[in-house]
Amino acid sequence: MCGIFGYIGPRTNGLELVVDGLKKLEYRGYDSWGVAADRGGELFVEKHVGKISGIDTKIFKNTSASLVIGHTRWATHGGVTDINAHPHFSGDKTVAVVQNGIIENYKEIRDELGREYFISQTDTEVIPQLIARYRKTMNFQEAVLAALRRLKGRYAIVAINVGTHQLIAARCGCPLIVGIGQDEHFVASDIPAFLEYTQEVMYLDDNEMVIIDGEASDERPLDQARGRRVTSSKRRETSRPSSGQARDEKEKFVTDHSSLHFLNIETSQPIQKRLVNIDWKAESAEKGEYDHYMLKEIMEQKATILRAIDQSDEDILKIAQTIRESRGCFFSGCGTAGKVCMAGEYFFSIIAQRHVNYAPASEFPVYHHFLRPESLLVVISQSGETADVLEAMEAAKKKKARVLSIVNVAGSTIARQSDTSLLINAGPEKAVASTKAATSQMTLLLLIAYAMTERLQEGRRLLAEVASKINDMLNPRFLVYIKEIAQLIREHNNLYIIGKAENYPMALESAIKIQEVSYIHAEGFAAGELKHGPIALVSHGTPCIAFVANDEVREDVLSNTMELKARGAYIIGVSPERHDVFDEWIHVPDVGVASPLVNIIPIQLLAYYLSVLRGLDPDMPRNLAKSVTVK
């Protein structure tokens, strides 16, 4: 949560560059935004409440700066105000800092420094104030190091000092990546911020910092052709075999880079970092013909399932073998990814008759009593940066258990910190609500479940058929029908969803989708649980969605649906067959055990249309962020 971005180099349009980059990090938070820059030895700061996407970069056209930091905020400490927006700066305005994460001991530090010096309610403001205090007797690097050693929590920061024209970035639990350009450097929470300038990166790991020296003035000659000032830097690289985790990255070891210095925060020892070449395209992150990313990403499911199964037999069989050999296998993730894990529990039971345990990642650490070196934790995460998942992984590693991850973002922290990682290859997911990533994750779990019982090719055939049927299903008439249903129920305040077996997790996932983008109170239940309490909530006209698959629990779910109907519910059935009990019938293809993949798609669309019809922004719902890097 929160996107941070820093630039240091010869370009003089650093403010425009940073604002543009922040727009690509907006999915990480959009309560407020801000930038700070070294303008000829003076600190320039601009920060405002609101989304950065609405800002015309040209406002900084005439403000030249080549050392700049910026931030797009998801508020944790302190309300959404201009003052609480980042960057924060020291009282003497020499040091400015942006932070992603939480400084747990900020109150103690603020009391020590004197509350009267603070102008915001944030935890972050203690950092520049602390650095400035140490700066009285130390150089910038030593002062930042001393300050970092005082901080407790999970965070990533970028700090600048206007006196020495330096940028320092540090990582303790939240992502930070250094982009290596020609004579220039970028530091960001995520690669898209600077992808148009360089594809060469170095990942900071926990407890590491990087000091980047710039030229103290902008008086260097201008390279007219490139609109940049000329500097020199040297870099020596040696090839190194790929880690085999993120297959689209090529790595080299960097033994020297004249203006970059990596240090371990605890020991102050220099660190050698790998230079990784990111083979991504800056593409596919545009909305194209669609009004919103959410709709675009829902429609992309015509292709993403096929991309998910485009994995080598060898990789899938190896993973199946690892699961088979484990003694105690846990599936864990958060939110939508957690519901995917739950669906996986059913897939493994139905297809492979193998018991796996699901636990939400935020709860997983309390399971530590059950972990042993033979245990296996399978984590699922779109972003690969979710703090609760990282904590679950830490709990597993403490007990020497193995960790397998299924992620969408290559090079993400979760991918790098797991023993084995599999990419779902869904392409960038920009809308806050997870759609195509969820179906791709389920696809892989299904495939692995088939591989567990030597039926990998049968699984591949089924999933290829699912992909083709989803392609047929997502036609314009289908979209119009779902929009009509959204129109019918848009004024309702409550909505319930029921499902059984592998569609029970889909009832829960449907609720998340509808809640987060339409703000309607939606709740999912195991179909058989209604009569034990929740049915009291149903009255005349209450919309209720029922997943009625052609499986062994169909008759049970139909009975539960009738119980709802008898209390006046308006029934929206999602099923391959029409049943009398339905008031509306959303026709989905019959794909057997893969029914969750086709059932969730109309509900993603329903959530989308409910949001739009209620005048909301489905891509950036209130109070949420795409990448949840705080606990």
Binding site for ligand F6R (CB under 6 A): 334-337, 381-383, 386, 389, 433-434, 512, 516, 628
**Residue number, 125 or 388, with CB nearest to ligand F6R:** 388
DSSP string, 125-141: THHHHHHHHHHTTS-HH
**Residue number, 389 or 448, with CB nearest to ligand F6R:** 389
**Residue number, 13 or 441, with CB nearest to ligand F6R:** 441
Tokens 């249903």, located at residue: 485
Tokens 């929470």, located at residue: 189
SS (H, E, C) 203-264: ECCCCEEEEEECCCCCCCCEECCCCEECCCCCEEEEECCCCCCCCCEEEEEEEEECCEEEEE
Omega prior to 87 cis, within 30 of 0: yes
Query: Pick the catalytic residue: 23, 47, 513, 626?
Result: 626
Annotated catalytic residue 61: no
State which amino acid sits at residue 172.
C
Nearest to 244 by CA among 384, 408, 423, 402: 423
User: Rounded to the nearest whole angstrom, what is the least distance from the CB of residue 362 to ligand F6R in the complex?
Assistant: 10
Q: β-strands 274-278, 222-223: how paired?
A: unpaired
Contact in structure between 356 and 404 (CB atoms under 8 Å):
no
**Residue number, 18 or 512, with CB nearest to ligand F6R:** 512
Query: How many degrees, rounded to 5, is the angle at CA 631 between CA 206 and CA 128?
Result: 60
User: Rounded to the nearest whole angstrom, what is the least distance from the CB of residue 32 to ligand F6R in the complex?
Assistant: 21
Contact in structure between 581 and 573 (CB atoms under 8 Å):
yes
**Residue number, 30 or 197, with CB nearest to ligand F6R:** 30
The answer for residues whose C-beta is within 8 angstroms of residue 453's C-beta and 6 or more apart is 351, 352, 353
Query: Pick the catalytic residue: 2, 172, 334, 544?
Result: 2
**Residue number, 335 or 596, with CB nearest to ligand F6R:** 335
Report in angstroms the alpha-carbon separations of 374 from 12, 323, 327, 362: 55, 10, 5, 22
Annotated catalytic residue 626: yes
Report in angstroms the alpha-carbon separations of 604 from 144, 436, 509: 46, 10, 9
Contact in structure between 549 and 506 (CB atoms under 8 Å):
no
- Count of residues making up the chain: 631
User: Rounded to the nearest whole angstrom, what is the least distance from the CB of residue 614 to ligand F6R in the complex?
Assistant: 17
Paired residues of 185 in beta bridges: 8, 180
**Residue number, 333 or 573, with CB nearest to ligand F6R:** 333
Residue 197 DSSP symbol: T
Residues involved in catalysis: 2, 626
